[in-house]
């Protein structure tokens, strides 16, 4: 489905590795809060993508793909994402893929405020929102890339 050069894949991978770097600027009481965030706490949390983009762009000469992933990995097709509220075709393919990967990872990982979901439940969540938030082709790509019939995944599975 996707045909990218080795260099493009490296740039994409660096963006994925550093996509949440801006969380280093979020107060720990917000990052580690066990309950639901208040609207003002969530607004602060939403700043992490801009923080990461600005911090890393100032210090390093990052490729465009890397910068796009770091800055926009919370954009949604219907424009309800952040930081810019990009819509549909205004969201680069790299960003659309990184958003799906980020949501999948968040759902299938234990967090202080929730227990991890199964592989199937996370995919169902993504598919249920494919009409508004996610490109279904990229969800299918993720599903076809992951090991079959795994309830929970680990880096050791790859």
pLDDT tens per residue across span 147-157: 665 555 555 55
- Residue 18 CA to its chain's centroid (Å): 11
Please give the Cα distance from 62 to 158 (Å, whole number). Answer: 28
Sign of CA dihedral 67, 75, 143, 32: positive
Which member of 23, 25, 84, 116 is catalytic? Answer: 23
Please give the Cα distance from 142 to 70 (Å, whole number). Answer: 19
pLDDT of the residue at 111: 86
Look up 23 and say whether it is catalytic: yes
Band (13; pLDDT cuts 50, 70, 90): very high
Please, what's the largest Cα pairwise distance for the chain?
Answer: 43
Residue pLDDT, tens place only, 47-104: 999 999 999 999 999 999 999 999 999 999 999 999 999 999 999 999 999 999 999 9
Where do we find the tokens 């762009």?
57
pLDDT of the residue at 154: 54
pTM of the model: 0.89
């Amino acid at each position: 489905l996707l045909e990218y050069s080795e260099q493009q894949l490296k740039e994409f991978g660096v963006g994925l590795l550093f996509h949440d770097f801006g969380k280093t600027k979020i107060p720990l009481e917000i990052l580690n809060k066990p309950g639901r965030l208040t609207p003002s706490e969530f607004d602060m949390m939403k700043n992490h993508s801009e923080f990461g983009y600005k911090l890393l762009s100032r210090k390093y000469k990052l490729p465009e793909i890397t910068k796009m992933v770091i800055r926009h990995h919370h954009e949604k097709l219907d424009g309800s994402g952040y930081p810019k509220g990009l819509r549909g075709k205004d969201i680069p393919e790299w960003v659309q893929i990184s958003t799906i990967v980020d949501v999948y990872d968040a759902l299938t990982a234990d967090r202080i405020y929730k227990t991890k979901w199964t592989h199937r439940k996370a995919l169902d969540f993504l598919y249920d929102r494919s009409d508004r938030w996610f490109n279904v082709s990229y969800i299918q790509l993720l599903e076809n890339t992951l090991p079959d019939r795994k309830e929970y995944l680990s880096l050791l599975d790859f």
